[in-house]
Chains A and B, each alone.
Chain A
């Protein structure tokens, strides 16, 4: 079965601290993984995708097939990073995105 697990509902860190939002997936094929972000009162938007291997707003995520993980990391958190973050898996066979339950990141001043 295809599944995305985000074990933390809430992650609270202080400004300047490192951040790691965890995401694990279950998928039998070759996965395509994404991180979406929703800032307060804004629409859900794509943050980054693993195939691009890019850094967006200082965030990076590396696909680890051995551990079936796609954790989102940032070395120094900023207050404006406070938002809800969703990990998502694109299942080619089903042709749709499967989302995790989300992690609320709260960056304290």
Chain B
């Protein structure tokens, strides 16, 4: 029944490493999103994509990039991980126009940068 899958539940990486977070959805959704979730700050949008090879910056894109080569896969890349990127990362997908607000979320990847 899993529809949005994030490849790792927990990750520990060293400062300066290049980190890839993978997200795959099987609902043929056009839109995909990457959020980070921090206590007291809620969900903040990092990047989103409306279509293959298309991407748009969210509210906090600094230090991140994304890749969407196939409709079902949306990757978040930390070019050089830093300790302030320690967080829970959530991937989501939806139909066009937000799908009426019906985002489907993955289980999240808890990333720790040491």
Assess whether A45 is interfacial by the CB under 8 Å rule. Answer: yes
CA distance A87 to B111 in the complex (A): 25
Chain A interface size, as a band, is 20 to 34
What does DSSP make chain A's interface, helix, strand, loop or mixed? strand
> What are 29 contact pairs spanning A and B, CB under 8 A?
A6-B42, A32-B98, A32-B101, A34-B101, A42-B107, A43-B105, A43-B107, A43-B108, A44-B90, A44-B105, A45-B105, A46-B102, A49-B102, A86-B43, A88-B101, A90-B98, A90-B101, A92-B97, A95-B31, A95-B50, A96-B58, A96-B98, A97-B103, A99-B42, A100-B42, A101-B40, A101-B41, A101-B42, A102-B42
With A43-B105, A43-B108, A51-B100 known as contacts, the answer to whether A96 contacts B33 (CB < 8 A) is: yes
